[in-house]
Amino acid sequence: MVLENRKKALETRSLSVCYNGTPVLKDISISIDQGEFVSILGPNGSGKTTFIKALTGIIKDIKGEVMLFGKPVTSYRRREFARFVSFLPQDPPVTLPFLVKDIVMMGRFPYIKRFEMEKSHDIGAADYAMELMDIHHLAKRHLMELSGGEVKRVFIAQAVAQESSILFLDEPTANLDINYQVEIFKMLKKFNEEMNKTIVLITHDINHAARFAKRIVLLNKGVIVKTGDPGEVINVRDLKSVFNTEVVIEYDRERKPYILI
């Protein structure tokens, strides 16, 4: 779904979240425009996953506001919300007793009414997503038979088939070989540039974030330390203050920063 003439996709206003009285996010105000590719960086326990869960409405007990295309996240009905937002958790369920093609078709749930058969457009959207993620040859295999990289591609294909405006991902390349990591980041960049899909993801890989994201949000102890393009955020001072370690920063041919430890 492509929204015309609506630049601001997401906005938080004084967003705070507590678990059992302990603050996890503290007074976060930020906006994300349609078509941005945003990577959220920070050490373990910095509030990254909580932040995404608050943005996607999974966590409802919040203070402040989360706005999606100018409306509170909580005002959307489930199917309506799913036409705008897709979410890939860090550990998608790998024991579901379904074929790959069925998993991908589940991305069409916002458009198919109960007891209604999928239409030609639904089938076409699922086929396109499988071809895009190079998993069409796996269509009739069970999810439990696949490798970790293949499973991630299946669930990204499901999100593509969903045709949402915004794709959230929590550590989409965790525990994957380097070839799968680069492949998935390149594919996400393609979605962003060619489909104008807003990408918001969590990653621990600073170099991947610097190479592929247009904007980085550096989070620590529940607050935003800095946000901006990779050249602004990836610097020795801010990384040391957040990760408490010394790094050396170099630049590639495109003047993108990368770290050496």
Q: What are the backbone angles phi and psi of residue 68, rounded to the nearest 5°?
A: -115, 115
CB 184 within 8 A of CB 111: no
Residues 91-119: tens digit of each pLDDT: 888 888 899 999 999 999 999 988 788 99
- Residue 176 has what pLDDT? 85
pLDDT tens-place string over residues 154-206: 999 999 999 999 999 999 988 888 888 998 999 999 999 988 999 999 999 99
Q: Is the pLDDT at 235 greater than 90, yes or no?
A: yes
Is the pLDDT at 137 greater than 90? The verdict is: yes
pLDDT at 1 over 70: no
- Give the span between the Cα atoms of 211 and 84, in whole angstroms: 26
Please determine, for residue 259, whether its predicted confidence score (pLDDT) is greater than 50: yes
Structure tokens at 108: 């069409």
CA separation, residue 81 to residues 164, 194, 232, 243 (Å): 9, 23, 33, 35
Q: Are 69 and 9 in contact (CB under 8 A)?
A: yes
pLDDT at site 7: 81
Q: Which residues pair with 249 in a beta bridge?
A: 259
Give pLDDT, residue 210: 95
Residue 252 zone, left/alpha/beta (φ > 0; ψ -120 to 50; rest): beta
Environment class of residue 172 by beta-carbon count within 10 Å: exposed (0-12), middle (13-18) or buried (19+)?
buried
pLDDT (tens digit per residue) in 40-86: 999 999 999 999 999 999 998 999 999 999 999 989 999 999 999 99
Closest CA to 97 of 87, 106, 89, 88: 106
Q: Look-up: residue for tokens 């669930």?
A: 155
Q: Which fold has domain 1-84+166-179+194-233?
A: Rossmann fold (3.40.50)
User: Which residue intervals of the chain bear CATH 3.40.50.300?
Assistant: 1-84+166-179+194-233
With residue 123 as reference, give the H or E element that holds it.
helix 120-132
Question: Would you say the pTM of this structure is higher than 0.85?
Answer: yes
Q: How large is the angle between the packed helices 178-195 and 148-161, nearest 10 degrees?
A: 10
H-run or E-run covering 217: strand 215-220
**Contacts of 20 by beta carbon, 8 Å cutoff, 6+ apart:** none
CB 193 within 8 A of CB 113: no
Q: What is the mean pLDDT of residues 227-252?
A: 94
The per-residue pLDDT for range 4-38, each reduced to its tens digit, is 455 899 999 999 999 988 999 999 999 999 999 99
Q: Which amino acid is at 151?
A: V
Phi first, then psi, for residue 257 (nearest 5°) are: -75, 150
Instruction: Report residue 181 as tokens.
Output: 């990591």
